[in-house]
């Protein structure tokens, strides 16, 4: 098995820096020039096969017997960066050394954490971008304490670290259990939002209107706190009300219509897009698809007349069940509901006239960072 694994890692187009010392795939390999504009360098231990594999961890002096020259290797990593001057530095490593109990109740006072962050800063000073989990999340602390399902969040954050100028990121919604028949939002303070921002979440989706026709004041306050915390993007969403005693979808003879009620509740708060939650989980939509289409258009038009940008949150089957084969709302962005562990839009098949979503909810029942509790995580570009 080990031999098969090693053979699968071999790259035929590698030019090894020192053929007398390096052996495929466990050596320093120079790859052919590609068509892109960025150069990259990968350093690490055996996880960095075909590149700067030194059997040493790049963020800590490794005591493993496989890393006999740990201090010299740390210096060699820095020397390689100076020599090759990469735009992006990948730290690809199996972190063994940090897999020990924390030395303090506060991770930021843990000596291993301090050592690793100091080494990370040295790398960051030399390149434009460091693709590394520690830069977004306390990776080694996660290795010690997080369950496999919680590591899905870590996987998403890590994969986003290499995107750079693409302006992609992770966002979340502060639900307790969004897939339940009914759910209540949790309250999140400004300081907690500052913590989640430090952990890689720079977008927040806050609910401001519920399917029973009431304003969600807890969600409104969360949006206010997220803005105060300085998150890059703060959006809102509302679940339409469709019972007989609900306000109308657009202005009739008063301001008693749903979008106005929702937006007016956030008066004085500058948020981004208002997303309309179009799914069957919380709302019993009529069988009349023509009515549903007009209702959605009325809500979009109502928001637009108020100067509010608007989008649609839905998934393929729900959309077709509610409005059929209709693309009349494709002029607004799509927040796509589709669960995955990937931080991308892979698997998207055009529907409703949308060729590409703006965001993707990838999981709705994950334990968030900073003691936030259960969150719904979304990837966005």
Catalytic residues: 184, 277, 279
Report the DSSP pairing between strands 169-173 and 374-380: antiparallel
Q: Do the Cβ atoms of 306 and 271 come closer than 8 Å? A: no
What separation, in Å, do the N-terminal and C-terminal C-alpha atoms of the chain show? 40
Nearest to 160, CA basis, from 378, 333, 321:
378
Q: Do the Cβ atoms of 80 and 43 come closer than 8 Å? A: yes
CA distances 330 to 134, 293, 326, 357, Å, are: 39, 12, 9, 10
Exposed, middle or buried by CB within 10 Å (0-12, 13-18, 19+), for 239?
buried
Tokens of 269: 């708060």
- The DSSP secondary-structure symbol of 26 reads B
Mapped onto helix, strand or coil, the DSSP state of residue 120 is helix
φ and ψ at residue 222, rounded to 5 degrees: -60, -40
Q: Do the Cβ atoms of 116 and 59 come closer than 8 Å? A: yes
φ and ψ at residue 52, rounded to 5 degrees: -95, 50
Residues counted in the chain = 381
Q: Do the Cβ atoms of 137 and 157 come closer than 8 Å? A: yes
Q: Label residues 190-223 b or e (16+ Cβ within 10 Å = b).
A: eebbbbbbebbbbbbbbbbbbbebebbebbbbbb
Tokens of 73: 């290797």
Mapped onto helix, strand or coil, the DSSP state of residue 275 is strand
Distance between CA atoms of residues 46 and 53, nearest Å = 6
Q: For residue 206, what are the β-bridge partners?
A: 236
Using left for φ > 0, alpha for ψ between -120 and 50, and beta otherwise, residue 64 falls in beta
């Amino acid at each position: 098995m080990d031999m098969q694994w090693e053979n699968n890692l071999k790259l035929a187009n590698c030019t090894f820096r020192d053929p007398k010392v390096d052996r495929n795939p466990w050596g320093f390999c120079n790859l052919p020039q590609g068509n892109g504009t960025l150069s990259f360098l990968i350093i690490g231990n055996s996880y960095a096969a075909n590149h700067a594999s030194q059997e040493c961890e790049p963020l800590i002096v490794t005591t493993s017997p496989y890393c006999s020259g740990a201090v010299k290797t740390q210096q060699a990593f820095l020397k390689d960066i100076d020599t090759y001057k990469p735009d992006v530095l990948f730290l690809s490593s199996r972190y063994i050394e940090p897999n020990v109990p924390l030395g303090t109740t506060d991770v930021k006072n843990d000596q291993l954490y301090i050592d690793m962050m100091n080494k990370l800063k040295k790398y960051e000073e030399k390149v434009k971008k460091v693709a590394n989990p520690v830069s977004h999340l306390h990776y080694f602390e996660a290795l010690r304490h997080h369950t496999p399902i919680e590591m899905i969040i870590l996987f998403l954050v890590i994969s986003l670290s290499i995107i750079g100028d693409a302006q992609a990121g992770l966002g979340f919604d502060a639900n307790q259990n969004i897939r339940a028949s009914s759910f209540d939002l949790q309250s999140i303070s400004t300081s907690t939002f500052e913590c989640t921002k430090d952990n890689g979440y720079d977008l927040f989706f806050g609910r401001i209107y519920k399917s029973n026709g009431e304003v969600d004041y807890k969600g409104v306050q969360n949006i206010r706190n997220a803005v105060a915390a300085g998150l890059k993007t703060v959006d809102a969403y509302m679940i339409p009300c469709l019972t007989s005693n609900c306000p109308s979808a657009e202005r009739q003879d008063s301001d008693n219509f749903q979008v106005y009620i929702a937006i007016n509740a956030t008066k004085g708060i500058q948020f981004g897009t208002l997303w309309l939650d179009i799914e069957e989980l919380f709302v019993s939509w009529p069988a009349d698809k023509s009515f549903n289409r007009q209702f959605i258009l009325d809500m979009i038009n109502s928001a637009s007349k108020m100067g509010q940008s608007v989008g649609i949150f839905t998934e393929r089957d729900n959309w077709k069940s509610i409005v059929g084969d209709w693309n009349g709302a494709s002029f607004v962005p799509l927040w796509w509901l589709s669960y995955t562990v990937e931080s991308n839009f892979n698997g998207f098949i055009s529907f409703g006239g949308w060729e590409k979503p703006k965001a993707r909810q990838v999981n709705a029942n994950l334990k968030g960072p900073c003691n936030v509790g259960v969150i719904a995580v979304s990837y966005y570009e």
